[in-house]
Chains A and B, each alone.
Chain A
Amino acid sequence: MVNANMRSSSAFVRWRKGLNWRGAVAVASFILLWQLLVRFKVPGFETIPTLSDVFSTFWTKYMLSAKYWKAWAVSFERVGYGFVISQVLGIPIGLLLGTRQMFHDVMFSVIEILRPIPPLAWVPISILFWPTNEMSIVFITFIGAFFIIVINVHDGVRSIKKEHLWLARSLGASPWRIFQRIIIPSVIPSIAVGMTLGIAVTWNVVIAAEMIASDTGLGRLTWEGYVSNTPAVVILGMISIGLAGYLSTKLVDYAEKKMMPWRKA
């Protein structure tokens, strides 16, 4: 929305209008409320640390701790492997499901049976099956994103406008060229959706899997804070996980923008 006032205002006013000051006030109030609820020992908040407690714990014990940053690295690695493998396997399978009737007839029922099983329900069988703990955790993160991307890509292929394909055929394009220049780009938006949903699920799953089955990682760190009765570490873990998820989402967003240059135009 443009109005004449904005152009003639000072830079400060423009800055202030651009900033979501209501949002900033809400966040500050939240932190203040939290601080007060703990200070005044409101029921339920007896063992909850304040944000300042969390911050001082971080500052003194964790910021320079190799173990803490290693936890970041380890969780990110698991998410990375699980996510990438799910895309590398899932995208071709989704494409095959949409383009080859034979493949669809054989595979679709199997996928539809396995898909409703939540990723975390796979934990015990995964531990039994895979030789190392690390592999079982990566497998769980993979499962979460895998079905999402398969379904999205399959749907994407089915939604391709017939005119887009017909025109290519009339213009004399070979089936391979049609696949490369028409089908794949048509499906990229669906891949983007699948990736965005997939990365969120991957983080959900990795944290829980770590709590159950591992001794490293941000999920494990959070859990250990609980069992060692240091709630400040629990909250620190939560904040760290939230940040890590946020960073991953931003990375995926960036990749999406690169994949679809015609959208931002």
Chain B
Amino acid sequence: MADARSIGRIAVKGVGKLYQRPKQPPVQVLDNCSFEIEPAKLTVLMGASGCGKSTLAYMIAGYLSPDKGSMTIDDISIVGPGPDRIMVFQETALWPWMTVIENVIFGPRALGSMSDAEARSKANALLTKFGLIEFRDKYPGQLSGGMKRRAELAQALINSPKIMILDEPFRGLDVMTRELMQEYYVGLFEETRLTTLFITAELEEAIFLADRLLIMGGSPSRIVKAIEVDLPHPRTWEVLTSERYLEIKEEIMRLLYQDQEAELLAQ
């Protein structure tokens, strides 16, 4: 499988988003937000809960549009959702009334890009790879949290998207499953080199996964810092004890505490 694609560059420039709320003054969630997501890299977007990370993700995916600024993929403006960018949401979006395999083949069947037989065979290959082949005729309600996430990855990857967006996908999983899923996902990434935007509020998860780390902060939110995480691949648990990892962690924590202090002082 060819890797190091040069496609899938996302450019976000000066983006702002205002949330209208009924009977309350509107909230400027994002303002003057600018960053780039580089192809074939795992970019992690990190920030406190409620800072607008999901909003940014929804805009890149095409579900919402910015009030100000521009968003482009490979220099083409984003106008709406499409199979070139697939998002895995915080809460599982697997359709409960379809079996696992029906969920996975939905994309190719909807686009008509494969026949039923082709789609099924490709789905079987992905499900086998993700250890879910025995569950292909089960309903999502019969799967555990981690299994649902893997099923969603299969559902996305069968469409060969240019970009994957994952919004705190491992939130709510127990610690052991979470760590397994982190290792699993970074391994998958190393294999496919599929441009990924990964959103999390967990610092250690962020550093472990990232090639590039974007820190969100401020009010309204914007990207306050971009850090290149030059830890070696493949990422294994040993990385978590390396000096470089601790250096990066310290740098970020300092930054986050500064941000908090500044907010407290400003009050």
Q: Are A and B genuine complex partners?
A: yes
Residue in contact with A171 in the complex, picked from B63, B96, B159, CB distance below 8 Å: B159
Q: List 15 extra interface pairs beyond A181-B95, A185-B98, CB under 8 A.
A: A162-B63, A164-B95, A166-B61, A166-B63, A166-B89, A170-B61, A170-B62, A170-B81, A170-B83, A170-B85, A170-B86, A171-B110, A172-B107, A177-B110, A263-B141
Residues in A142-183 with C-beta less than 8 Å from chain B: 161-164, 166-174, 177, 181-182
**Which range holds the interface residue count of chain A?**
20 to 34
A265 beta carbon closer than 8 Å to chain B: yes
Q: Contacts A166-B61, A172-B82, A188-B97; is A262 near B139 (CB within 8 Å)?
A: yes
When distances are taken between beta carbons in the complex, the residues of chain A under 8 Å from B97 are: 185-186, 188, 260, 262
Chain A nearest CB from B105 CB (Å) reads 10
Residue in contact with B86 in the complex, picked from A163, A171, A260, A262, CB distance below 8 Å: A171
Chain B nearest CB from A1 CB (Å) reads 22
- Are A173 and B110 interface neighbours, CB within 8 A? yes
Chain B interface (Cβ within 8 Å of chain A)?
A: 61-63, 80-83, 85-87, 89, 91, 93, 95-98, 106-107, 110-111, 138-139, 141-142, 159
Give the residue name and chain of the B residue nearest to A188 (CB).
B97
When distances are taken between beta carbons in the complex, the residues of chain B under 8 Å from A164 are: 93, 95
- Are B89 and A168 interface neighbours, CB within 8 A? no
When distances are taken between beta carbons in the complex, the residues of chain A under 8 Å from B63 are: 162, 166, 169
- Are A265 and B141 interface neighbours, CB within 8 A? yes
- Are A170 and B141 interface neighbours, CB within 8 A? no
- Are A167 and B87 interface neighbours, CB within 8 A? yes
Give the interface centre of B61, B62, B97, B98 by most chain A CB atoms within 10 Å: B97
- Are A167 and B138 interface neighbours, CB within 8 A? no
When distances are taken between beta carbons in the complex, the residues of chain B under 8 Å from A170 are: 61-62, 81-83, 85-87
When distances are taken between beta carbons in the complex, the residues of chain A under 8 Å from B159 are: 171-172
Residue in contact with A163 in the complex, picked from B93, B96, B110, B141, CB distance below 8 Å: B93
Residue in contact with A168 in the complex, picked from B61, B82, B106, B142, CB distance below 8 Å: B106
When distances are taken between beta carbons in the complex, the residues of chain B under 8 Å from A171 are: 83, 86, 106-107, 110-111, 159
